[in-house]
Homo-oligomer: A and B are copies of this chain.
Amino acid sequence: MRRNNLKKNTLHELLMANNVLKMAKENKRIDGRDFLDYRPIKIEPNVIEKPDASARVMLGDTFIIVGINFEIGTPFSDSPDKGILITEGEVLPTASFGAEAGPPSEEEIEISRVVDRSIRESGVVDLSELVIVPGEKVLKMFVDFNIFNDDGNIVDAAVLGTVAALLTGKMPDPKYIAEHIDEIDKISLKEVPRVPIPVKDIPISTTLALIGDKFYVDPNYVEESVAEALITITHTKNDEICAVQLYEGALGYEQVFEALNISLNKSREIRDILLSMVKNESTETNE
């Protein structure tokens, strides 16, 4: 749908959009994929050394980097026994002709929040293990993702990158900080011993575009621009649904369940890809 961006599209993009619709009639996608196929996925954890965790994801030509930083903070008054998770995504102005620098747009806020919910609701990180002193000091986990090139399906790439970073990153040990709480103002967080991030699940989001009554898995930028509906569904490793977002458009009642089923199958497949890539890279880089 991307209505806001449409008017900024280049002529090239408009022609491509037309092609998507033409080929839909022949049951084909413009890049030759099957309707249920993802594009090639490449996940590189620890691609940036400064933050506590990081990963780069290439999903076709969608190029995204995720960085995760931990800071010491104060828990929210209504959840004194939980660490804090903050997720912020930015579509960099490098990403496409229509992308703009500046404060987060409505669209950037929406995708950040969908990624946040995919992470948070799945319980991938047990926030209660980020507590230093209950009600007083907790770890605050910042997930920042940036889209350097947008060829569609940002959210799936961002969730993949975030989970890959969590699986391979390290965080400052909250127990160590608790034991040295009196010197907290003098501790440099970077010198606190690291422990693995307490990961409990492997959520996978899958995004589907509806074009002419057919679902396109992992839509690219042009497919998104002509989609009648666009939806993300996130599954936990136990096949539970943990986040859904209909971004744009309308679905028939039955189509909702068709989408859920497609998503479930794809999520298992993508989870395997993720785990194989993280395992390779994490031995390579971490040991």
A residues near B, CB below 8 A? 77, 135-136, 185-186, 188
- Chain B neighbourhood of A188, CB < 8 A: 77
- Chain B neighbourhood of A135, CB < 8 A: 185-186
Q: In the complex, what distance in Å separates the CA atom of A77 from the CA atom of B77?
A: 27
Interface class of chain A by DSSP: loop
Q: Smallest Cβ distance from A230 to chain B, in angstroms? A: 27
Q: Which residue of B lies closest to A187 (CB)?
A: B77
Kindly list the 4 A-B residue pairs having the minimum CB-CB distance in the complex, ordered from nearest.
A135-B186, A135-B185, A136-B185, A77-B188
Q: In the complex, what distance in Å separates the CA atom of A136 from the CA atom of B77?
A: 21
- Chain B neighbourhood of A185, CB < 8 A: 135-136
| A-B CB contact pairs (8 Å), 4 listed | A77-B188, A135-B185, A135-B186, A136-B185
Q: Which residue of B lies closest to A78 (CB)?
A: B188
Q: In the complex, what distance in Å separates the CA atom of A260 from the CA atom of B186?
A: 43
Q: Smallest Cβ distance from A183 to chain B, in angstroms? A: 10
Q: In the complex, what distance in Å separates the CA atom of A136 from the CA atom of B183?
A: 12
- Chain B neighbourhood of A136, CB < 8 A: 185
Of A135, A136, A185, A188, most buried by chain B (CB within 10 Å of CB) is A185
Q: Smallest Cβ distance from A74 to chain B, in angstroms? A: 9
Q: In the complex, what distance in Å separates the CA atom of A186 from the CA atom of B186?
A: 25
